[in-house]
Amino acid sequence: MVNAHSPGSVSQDPATAALIARRKAALGPAYRLFYREPLHIVRGQGVWLHAADGRQYLDAYNNVACVGHAHPHVVQAIAGQAATLATHTRYLDETVLRYAERILATVPAPLTHMMFTCSGSEANDLALRMAQARTGGTGIVVTAHAYHGVTQAVSALSPSLGAVADMPAHVRTVPAPDTFRAGGVAAQGFATAVAAAFDDLRHAGHIPAAFVCDALFSSDGVFDPPGDVWRNTIAAVHAAGALFIADEVQAGFGRAGGGLWGFARHGLRPDLVTLGKPMGNGYPVAAVLADPLITQAFAEQTRYFNTFGGNPVAAAAASAVLDVIETEDLIASAMAVGGALRRALGDLQSRFACIGDVRGAGLFVGVEILNRDDGTPDAVCASQIINAMRDRGVLLSGCGPQANVLKIRPPLVFDETHADLLVTTLEAVLAEPC
């Protein structure tokens, strides 16, 4: 099988081949490229990416540029602040305070403190340290194919990276709440599985500290279980003496529709929330939102300082993103466009046997690809679909333990005309059997 995210045996023009060779020589072997035939992107605008050969691609994957590539309001905010002041949080500055106050007004009490980092990985790392300081424990539970970052601590909580053969002794994994198989019955057992994982940690001598999870199970295959599954799970987490860390790096900033945060759709109250990727529309800024009792426990053990976390330029970029989400009504748009997209994909499901399920929320959609003959996960077919879509000018990705789920996660400025283009292109691809 040729992985959808790695160059394969497809012939490349000499310029592309030379660029790949330079990249390997300069950056080393650990990096990966998207698609069998990698793209050389030179410009982005809105939902479009433009390649060096002049071809444009519909970006239906990149949630980093959540309000669209090179949004003029965000670009102007970054440039204006960079031309004025770029320093750090050891000086007083109103830019970061105004932004923190805006964000904190969108989340439930007692989330009243905001601490800044540069990336989602750093945010999850910091949230983990804070949870351990508050609980006195080290035991962590995550889902079986989760991704929470690349630092030493959180890469250990990211089995989807495949970098660690065996999870560390203080970590337990549980299957994601599968809303597809067995009619979704498996999802109802999620809370019980989390409780059992914490019991196992305690019996092994690891005091429970945190359950870390994102609201749409992004790497596990995109699932959106009902609110009772979430509420029962959080009750189990708290009963174990642990804290719930809501990783909103992918699910946040209106992507799921129905509110700014993925967790908020179910009326949940996390103990810690981590933000990243879309927060600055590509500018590196991230954060942790926390209960003050947690920040106090952390502060009693250590001082916190991040040279670039929360600098005025980052705060200006992040503030501009919020402006655009509000003024362009992108949360409502994500709900409406995402709903129309899922309905159209559902129509394809009724006509193409390889589509087993269409699921998600807002502009975060998973399409499960199955073998037409036996109904098993079909990673080979999914990879072929992703690469064929790329060849036709639409960019998707894949996820899930078997890499058989199409991951559709476009910028929030993606509208119904873009959704129509995606669906008609996918229909043409599916007409050519894997």
- Over residues 179-235, the pLDDT tens digits come to 998 777 778 899 999 999 999 999 999 999 999 999 999 999 999 999 999 999 999
Task: Assign residue 25 a region (left: φ > 0; alpha: ψ between -120 and 50; beta: otherwise).
Answer: alpha
Give the closest residue to 269 by CA, choosing from 82, 404, 110, 394.
110
Strands 243-247 and 272-275: parallel
User: Rounded to the nearest 5°, which phi and psi values hold at 427?
Assistant: -60, -40
Residue 328 has a pLDDT of 98
Q: DSSP string spanning 338-400? A: HHHHHHHHHHHHHH-TTEEEEEEETTEEEEEEB-TTT--B-HHHHHHHHHHHHHTTEE-EEES
| Contact indicator for 291, 110 with CB cutoff of 8 Å | yes
Length of the chain: 434
**Diameter over CA atoms, the chain:** 64
CA dihedral 74, 78, 81, 87 (to 10 degrees): 130
CA atoms within a 13 Å half-sphere pointing along the CA-CB vector of 343: 8
For residues 181 and 183, what is the distance between their CA atoms, to the nearest angstrom? 5
Residues 6+ away with beta carbon under 8 Å from 166: none
| Contact indicator for 370, 376 with CB cutoff of 8 Å | yes
CA dihedral 373, 374, 379, 385 (to 10 degrees): 30
For residues 213 and 145, what is the distance between their CA atoms, to the nearest angstrom? 11
Burial of 393 (0-12, 13-18, 19+ CB in 10 A): middle
- As a CATH number, domain 14-67+329-430 is 3.90.1150.10
Helix or strand or coil: residue 290? strand
Residues of the chain with CATH 3.90.1150.10: 14-67+329-430
- Over residues 376-430, the pLDDT tens digits come to 999 999 999 999 999 999 999 999 999 999 999 999 999 999 999 999 999 999 9
| Segment among 6-10, 30-34, 296-300, 348-352 with least mean pLDDT | 6-10
Token pair for 224? 């959106």
| Torsion sign (Cα): 429, 427, 39, 384 | negative
Q: DSSP string spanning 71-82? A: -HHHHHHHHHHH
Indicate the DSSP class of residue 303. Answer: -
User: Rounded to the nearest 5°, which phi and psi values hold at 300?
Assistant: -70, -20
For residues 200 and 171, what is the distance between their CA atoms, to the nearest angstrom? 10
For residues 56 and 221, what is the distance between their CA atoms, to the nearest angstrom? 28
- Which residue is it, tokens 């599916």? 430
Instruction: Locate all alpha helices (DSSP H) within 83-175, ordered by sequence.
Output: 94-104, 120-135, 152-155
Q: In this structure, which amino acid lies at residue 143?
A: T
- Over residues 111-161, the pLDDT tens digits come to 999 999 999 999 999 999 999 999 999 999 999 999 999 999 999 999 999
Residue 1 has a pLDDT of 29
For residues 236 and 187, what is the distance between their CA atoms, to the nearest angstrom? 15
Residues of the chain with CATH 3.40.640.10: 72-327
Q: In this structure, which amino acid lies at residue 171?
A: V
Residue 6 has a pLDDT of 54
Calculate mean pLDDT across residues 283-289. 97
Neighbouring C-beta atoms of residue 243, cutoff 10 Å:
27
Helix or strand or coil: residue 212? strand
CATH C-level class of 72-327? alpha beta
Calculate mean pLDDT across residues 329-336. 98
239 has a pLDDT exceeding 70: yes
N- to C-terminal Cα separation, the chain: 12
| Torsion sign (Cα): 97, 129, 224, 108 | negative
Calculate mean pLDDT across residues 309-330. 97
For residues 296 and 276, what is the distance between their CA atoms, to the nearest angstrom? 23
> SS3 breakdown of the chain: % helix, strand, coil, rounded to 5?
40, 15, 40
